[in-house]
């Protein structure tokens, strides 16, 4: 057993395969689209003639999803190698610090989106004690932001897997 490992068990070989990486990207896309499907479904039901209630989805309901989607965009624009690479090859010094700051801001955007969706659910739908057709709008908002957050983590991990089949060309 080598001394430089943290855990006792070895990493499975299938984690380093290109098929696992591709499956992770597809899984992240499926989670993202499923999340937005719930919110678009709730939004269309809110403005449908089948729903006769007074509470509808407004722009306030869209803000948490926008924050989560922007957080996902920010997080997945960071390469994992930038988090530990303090060299002059990436436009000066302090690259790791800058990358960690941007990564933190991306996670803060996603956490703010999830917290905002829970706040909208509680303040707009739970406190007035609305019944299920209207309560579904808030639940769909929370599910959307949760799935976007999970999708972002899955995509970042699968995009930044260390592969044995790829190589980096250094000049």
Q: For a pLDDT cut of 70, what percent of the chain falls above it? A: 80
pLDDT digit string, tens, across residues 20-75:
888 888 999 999 999 999 999 988 988 888 877 788 888 998 999 999 999 999 98
What pLDDT is stored for residue 125 in this prediction? 86
Burial of residue 131 (number of CB atoms within 10 Å: 0-12, 13-18, 19+): exposed
What pLDDT is stored for residue 78 in this prediction? 82
For 81, residues 6+ apart whose C-beta sits below 8 A from its C-beta are 160
pLDDT digit string, tens, across residues 101-128:
888 999 999 999 999 999 999 998 888 8
Task: Please indicate whether residue 6 or residue 113 has the higher confidence score (pLDDT).
Answer: 113
Q: For residue 113, which of 146, 153, 89 has the smallest C-alpha distance?
A: 146
φ and ψ of 163, to 5 deg: -110, 145
Q: What is the pTM of this model?
A: 0.78
What pLDDT is stored for residue 56 in this prediction? 83
**DSSP H helices in the chain:** 18-46, 59-75, 95-120, 132-159
What pLDDT is stored for residue 171 in this prediction? 46
Task: Please indicate whether residue 89 or residue 140 has the higher confidence score (pLDDT).
Answer: 140
What pLDDT is stored for residue 5 in this prediction? 63
Task: Please indicate whether residue 163 or residue 9 has the higher confidence score (pLDDT).
Answer: 9
What pLDDT is stored for residue 1 in this prediction? 47
Report the pLDDT averaged over residues 71-99.
74
């Amino acid at each position: 057993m080598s001394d430089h490992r943290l855990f006792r068990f070895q990493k499975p070989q299938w984690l380093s395969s290109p098929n696992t990486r591709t499956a992770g990207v597809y899984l992240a896309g499926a989670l993202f689209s499923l999340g937005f499907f719930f919110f678009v479904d709730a939004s269309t039901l809110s403005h449908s003639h089948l729903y006769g209630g007074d509470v509808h989805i407004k722009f306030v309901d869209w803000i948490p999803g926008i924050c989560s989607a922007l957080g996902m965009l920010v997080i997945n624009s960071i390469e994992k190698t930038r988090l530990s690479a303090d060299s002059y090859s990436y436009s000066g010094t302090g690259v790791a610090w800058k990358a960690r700051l941007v990564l933190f801001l991306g996670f803060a955007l996603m956490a703010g989106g999830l917290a905002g969706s829970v706040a909208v659910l509680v303040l707009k739908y739970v406190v007035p004690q609305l019944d299920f057709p209207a309560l579904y709008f808030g639940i769909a908002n929370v599910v959307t932001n949760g799935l976007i957050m999970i999708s972002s983590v899955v995509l970042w991990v699968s995009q930044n897997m260390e592969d044995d089949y790829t190589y980096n060309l250094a000049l």
